[in-house]
Amino acid sequence: MAPMLLLYLHGFNSSPKSVKAQQMADYLGLYHPEITIEIPNLSPYPQQAWLQIEAIVACYPDYQLGVLGSSLGGYYATKVNQVFNCPAVIVNPAVKPYELLVDYLGENTNPYTDNVFTLTEQHIDELRALDCPTLVHPETIWALLQTDDEVLDYNQATAKYNAAKLTVEQGGDHAFIGFERYLSDILTFLAFK
């Protein structure tokens, strides 16, 4: 059996220290130490973030790959799914971040890392270029959504991922309350166990 790599992609203005990333890392450490996890500190600039993702995947050529992404990380995870033909679990994913992030044009500070960065129209264009309007193998994607997401409209995700596996919970929030309930099932979906 091939060694396994779980790639966790955090959201916009988040970091590898996000609660969901740490919950998954802790779970793997306790119950599945045979699974390697990579949680990159993604650049706020989309093209740079994509190059980081490609570089990590290139470092594990013989590994079975699965990707888990939250918010903007879910958008990137969809791209990983389409380009590298691997299963993806996406949590309250951004569907059209190139529309949402217009509100963040200019200088920003990541509250977790204190990194100061400036978003420009070029970065919005880079995000748009990473879009996957058509999902080739939607059955290899599982979208976990909560209806009271205060940042993203979950209806956009149900429309885009309607042919994928969908779990829609009433209530919750953008962080996805109770994410830890799904850790084992996520690994099963990613074909890691």
pLDDT tens-digit series, residues 8-46: 999 999 999 999 999 999 999 999 999 999 999 999 999
pLDDT over 90 percentage in the chain: 97
Distance, in Å, from the CA atom of 28 to the CA atom of 13, rounded to the nearest integer, reads 25
Q: What is the CATH number of the domain that holds 99?
A: 3.40.50.1820
Mean per-residue pLDDT, 107-130: 96
Looking at residue 81, its pLDDT comes to 98
User: Going edge to edge, which strands form the sheet with 88-91?
Assistant: 35-38, 4-9, 64-70, 88-91, 141-146, 165-169
What integer pLDDT is reported at residue 6 of this predicted model?
Answer: 98
In tens, the pLDDT along 43-64 reads 999 999 999 999 999 999 999 9
**Alpha-carbon span 126 to 136, nearest angstrom:** 21
The per-residue pLDDT of the chain, averaged, comes to 96
The pTM assigned to this predicted structure is 0.97
- Is there a contact between 97 and 77 (Cβ–Cβ < 8 Å)? no
Domain carrying residue 146? 4-189
Tokens of 44: 């706020």
Which pLDDT band, with edges at 50, 70 and 90, does 192 fall under?
A: confident
Per-residue pLDDT for 1 more than 90?
no
Could you read off the pLDDT of 128-168 as tens digits, one per residue?
999 999 999 999 999 999 999 999 999 999 999 999 999 99
d(CA 35, CA 190) in angstroms, rounded, equals 11
Give, as one character, the DSSP assignment of residue 105: B
Compute the distance between CA of residue 9 and CA of residue 67 in angstroms, rounded to an integer. Answer: 8
Number of domains in the chain: 1
Neighbouring CB atoms inside 10 A of 54's CB total 13
Helix H or strand E segment including 100: helix 97-100
- Segment 177-182 mean pLDDT: 97
CB 151 within 8 A of CB 71: yes
